[in-house]
Structure 1
C-alpha cells in the first residue's frame, strides 16, 4: 500500500498503533510456531490449554468482525430481532456443558468427525468433514469481506487491496503458529475487541445532541428495540423463527463445529473444558447485546444529526464512517486494531479447523494413511495455506454482491449451504438405534430439501414451487427431515453391532456420557 495514501487518511500515531498490533501478532506466531513438532501440537496444543484461555478464545471466535461491524449494522438497518438467535445459544451451551464436553473429552480423537465414523460409519464422517470444510470457507470469506469493508473506508484504500493483503497476513501467521497461536491471539484479540467497542459507545454517547437518555428514548419510540413480531408466520423473520432456528443451530454447532469441539479437546481437562464453555456463555450474551446497542445508538445519532453521505453507504460502513469522522487521533488506530482483531480471531480458528479436518479426516484416513508425522505436519500447513487462499477468493466474490446486511447473508448461507451435519451428529449422540444404512437412505431426501429451495431461489423453478418457509428455516427443516426419516428407517434397518467407542483413560470416569 502506498504510504502517502495511508498518511492522507490516518495520522502517524494511528498507524503506529495498528503496526504494533500486527507486530505483536507476528511475534506470537513465531513463538508458538517453534513448538509445533507434530500434528498433536499443531491441532490441539498438546491438549494442555487452560480453560480460561479456551473460554476467551471461544468468545473471540464466535464474535469476529460479524459482531463488531455486522451486529451494529443489523441494529442500525432494522432492529434487534436478529439478536434473538444469538440469545438462543444459552440452550446450546448448556447442552454442551453437560453432554458434548464429557462426550468428546472421553474420546481419543482429534476431530468431531472421527466420532461419527465410530457411530455411523465412514460415509457419515467423510460427508460431514467435506461439508463443514466448504461451509467454513464460505464463512471466513464473508468475515474477511466485512473487515475489509471497514479498513477500506478508514484507510481510503481499494477493498481488493485490503482483502488480498489482509488475507495473506492472516494466512501466514495461522499457517506458522497452529492452534496455540490461534487460541492465545484470540485471548488478546477479545480484550482489544471489547476495548474498541467501549470506546465507540463512549464517544457516541458523548456526541449525542440530547445525551444518551435522549438517544435511547428516540430509538425506543421508533421501535428500534423490537425483537420482531410474536405472530406465528414461518415465512417471516418473527421472534419465534429466530428463537427456534437459533436454538437448533446453537445445539448443532456445539457438537458438530470443529472450531468448537477442537477447543473442548485442547483444554487440559474435562473440568477446564466445561469452565471454558461457562466463560463463553456468561460473557458472549452481554457482548452481543452491547454491539446491538451501539448500532441502535448510531441510528439515533444520525437521526438527530442527518448525514447525507449515509444514503450511499451500506449498513456495514456506518461504524467505520463514525470512527473516521468523530473519534480523536490515536483512538481511531485502536478501533482499526479492534476490528482487525475481531476478524482475525474468527478467521484463524476456521483456517486451522479446515486444516485439521482435511489432514485428519481426509488425508490421514483415505489419501495418505502411511505418511509420517512430519509429512502430516507439512500437509497441515499446506492445507492452512490453501484455506487462506480460498478465503481471499470468496471475499473478493462477496464484494460484488448486493445484500440487506451481512448478518442476513450469513444466516442464509448457513441455512442453505450448511448441509445436514447437525442432524447427523444429533442422531449419532442421542439416537443409538440409527445405523449407517438408515442414515445413507435418509440423507438424499434431506439434502434434496436444501437443493430444492436453492434451485427455486436461483429462479430455475417457479416461485410457487418454493417451500413456504423463510430461508432461515431451511436448515432446520432439512435436518429434522433427516432425523425423522432416518429414525423411521431404523425400524427396518436397525444398526448392527454395538459400535463401542474407545474411551480415553484420562477421562474414563465420563464413560457413562457415551
Structure 2
C-alpha cells in the first residue's frame, strides 16, 4: 500500500475543492427546472462538445484502454473509428429531431409514437443501466486509486461521492458541463504527461517502442476478414457504430446536451467537436499501453512484481508463496494488463506529478458520474414523477424534486459501487441484465423515427421478439453440452447489433403484414 506525499494530497484536495466551488458558483442561477436541466439553452457549442467528450472519456477508458493495448493490440481502437459515421447521422437527423420536439427527455416521444409502455420501458432500462454504470465506475476508480493513495476503497468512494453529489445538485446541468470542460482538459493533459514519463524511462525512447511494437504486432487493428464470431476489424467497427448510434440518439446523457445549446447549429457542432477530440484522445491511450508494454519488456524484472501481485489477488490471502509463484508464471499479458499503469505510477512517477495524474483519473470518473446523475434525475422527474405522481407540480416543487432525485441517484450509484467491494458477482449480473434490456432501446427508437406507420402493438411485439433474441444470444453459452447446437455462434459484441436489427426489422415486417391484411379485407369486401 502506498502513502501519497503531502504535496500530492494537496494537489488532489485543491482539485476537489475547485469542483465543489463550481457547483456553488452556478447554484445562484438555478431558479427554475429549465435552468437546472438545460441551462435555459445558453451554453456555447464548444463547451457542450468538450462536455460530451469528457463523458465519453471515463475512468474505464483512462485505466482500461492502456491495459487492453498492453495485453493485446489496437483492435479496440476500431470502436473509435466508427464514431464519425454515427456522429454524421446524429448531427443530420437526431439533433434536429430532438430540438424540434423540444422535449428534454429522450423518451417522451416514444409515448407519442407507441404509447406509455414504450416510454416506461426505455426509462427503466436507462435508469438500470446508469446505476450499474455509475457503480462500476466508482468501483474501478477506487480499485485503481487504492494502490496509489494508500486509502481504502470505501473511503475513496465516499469522498468522491460526496463531492460529486454536492456540485451536481447545487449547479445543475450548467455545473456539470463546465466542470466537464475542466475535467476534459485535465484528463487529456494527464494522459500526455503519462506518455511522456513512460517514453522518458525507456532507453532509446520512441524508436525502442516502435521496434518492440512492430516485432510483437502490438499496433494491429485486427483481422480484416468478415468473421463476426471473433473480434475482427469489421466486427468491432459494426459494434462501435451501433453503440455510438445509441449514445448519440438514445442516451439521455447526450440528448440532454442538445437542448442546452444556443441553437441547433451549435448543438450539431458539439457532436463533431466531441468526435474530433475523442478519436485522437482514445488513440493516445492505446499508445500509452503500447509504450508501457515496451517499458516492461526493457525492464522484465519489474513485470514479475505485477504478475505476483495479480496472482496473489486471484488466490486470496490464504495462498502460499509457492502457489502464487506458480500462478504468476502462467499469467499472460492480457491477465495483468490493467495493473501495469497503476504499478508504473507507484514505482516511477515523482512526487507532485502523481497528484496531478490522480486528479486526472478522478476527473475521468467524476465527469461520467455527474453526467449520469443529472440525466437520471431529469428522466425520473419528467417521465415518472410528473407523469404518474404529480402532473400539476409547481415550478418550485419541480425544482425541489430534481434536487432530491439527484441526491438519491448519486447515493444509489455510490452504494452500488460500495456493494461491488464485497459482492461483485451480483452487480455483474445486474449490469448484464440492464445491458440486455437496454439493447432494445435503439431498435425501438429507430422504428419510431423511420417507420411512421408502425403502431404500438406492432412495436411491442417487435420488442418482445428482440428481447428474446438478446436473451438467447447472452445466455445460450451456458446451455448443457447436448444443446450445443443452440448456442449463439456470434461474438458477444454482436448482441446489440442483432438485437437492434431484430426489433427494427420485426416491426417493419409486422407493419407490412397488418397493411396487407387490411388491404385484403378491403379488396374482398
Contact 1:149–1:316 (8 Å) recurs in 2: no
- Aligned equivalent of 1:448, options 468, 479, 483: 468
Q: Deviations over 1:371-421 (max 9, x none)?
A: 222222222222222221221233234445789xxxx99997785352310
- Aligned equivalent of 1:52, options 46, 56, 62: 46
Q: Secondary structure of the equivalent of 2:58?
A: helix
Q: Secondary structure of the equivalent of 2:107?
A: helix
- Kindly report which structure 2 residues correspond to 1:90-489, keeping only aligned pairs within 5 A, or say none: 90-306=84-300, 307=302, 308-311=304-307, 312-313=309-310, 314-399=336-421, 416-457=436-477, 464-489=485-510
Q: CA deviation at 1:367?
A: 2.1
Q: TM-score, normalised by structure 1?
A: 0.89
- What is the alpha-carbon distance in structure 2 between the residues aligned to residue 415 and residue 457 of structure 1? 17
Contact 2:39–2:173 (8 Å) recurs in 1: yes
Q: Secondary structure of the equivalent of 1:209?
A: coil
Larger Rg: 2
- Kindly report which structure 2 residues correspond to 1:7-22, keeping only aligned pairs within 5 A, or say none: 9-22=3-16
- What is the alpha-carbon distance in structure 2 between the residues aligned to residue 289 and residue 459 of structure 1? 38
Q: Which residue of 1 aligns with 2:29?
A: 35
1:24 matched to 2:37: no
Q: CA deviation at 1:13?
A: 1.2
Q: CA deviation at 1:252?
A: 2.4
Q: Deviations over 1:302-346 (max 9, x none)?
A: 111021221124433322221122111111110001110111111
Change (3 A) 1:439 1:35: same
Q: CA deviation at 1:440?
A: 1.2
Q: CA deviation at 1:239?
A: 1.3
- What is the alpha-carbon distance in structure 2 between the residues aligned to residue 210 and residue 228 of structure 1? 28
Q: CA deviation at 1:206?
A: 0.6
Q: Secondary structure of the equivalent of 1:491?
A: helix
Change (3 A) 1:400 1:474: farther
Contact 1:61–1:345 (8 Å) recurs in 2: yes
Change (3 A) 1:346 1:272: same
* Structure 1: 5+ residue stretches without partners: 496-514
Q: CA deviation at 1:232?
A: 2.9
* Structure 2: 5+ residue stretches without partners: 311-335, 517-525
Q: TM-score, normalised by structure 2?
A: 0.87
- What is the alpha-carbon distance in structure 2 between the residues aligned to residue 419 and residue 459 of structure 1? 22
- What is the alpha-carbon distance in structure 1 between the residues aligned to residue 199 and residue 379 of structure 2? 45
Structure with greater proportional helix content: 2
Change (3 A) 1:409 1:343: farther
Contact 1:56–1:187 (8 Å) recurs in 2: yes
Q: Secondary structure of the equivalent of 2:226?
A: coil
Contact 1:142–1:410 (8 Å) recurs in 2: no
Contact 2:473–2:488 (8 Å) recurs in 1: yes
Q: Secondary structure of the equivalent of 1:418?
A: helix
Contact 2:26–2:174 (8 Å) recurs in 1: yes
Cα-Cα RMSD: 2.3
Q: Secondary structure of the equivalent of 2:75?
A: coil
Pick which of 118-127 and 471-480 moved more.
Answer: 118-127
Contact 2:125–2:434 (8 Å) recurs in 1: no
Contact 2:169–2:406 (8 Å) recurs in 1: yes
- What is the alpha-carbon distance in structure 1 between the residues aligned to residue 402 and residue 418 of structure 2? 25
- What is the alpha-carbon distance in structure 1 between the residues aligned to residue 422 and residue 487 of structure 2? 26
Q: Secondary structure of the equivalent of 2:163?
A: helix
Q: Which residue of 2 aligns with 1:506?
A: none
Q: Which residue of 2 aligns with 1:508?
A: none
- What is the alpha-carbon distance in structure 2 between the residues aligned to residue 237 and residue 84 of structure 1? 10
- What is the alpha-carbon distance in structure 2 between the residues aligned to residue 40 and residue 480 of structure 1? 35
Change (3 A) 1:402 1:142: closer
- What is the alpha-carbon distance in structure 2 between the residues aligned to residue 493 and residue 321 of structure 1? 61
- What is the alpha-carbon distance in structure 2 between the residues aligned to residue 410 and residue 298 of structure 1? 33
Pick which of 469-478 and 305-314 moved more.
Answer: 305-314
- What is the alpha-carbon distance in structure 2 between the residues aligned to residue 414 and residue 222 of structure 1? 38
Contact 1:423–1:482 (8 Å) recurs in 2: yes
Change (3 A) 1:43 1:169: same
Q: Secondary structure of the equivalent of 1:420?
A: helix
Change (3 A) 1:494 1:10: farther
Q: CA deviation at 1:181?
A: 0.6
Q: CA deviation at 1:454?
A: 3.8
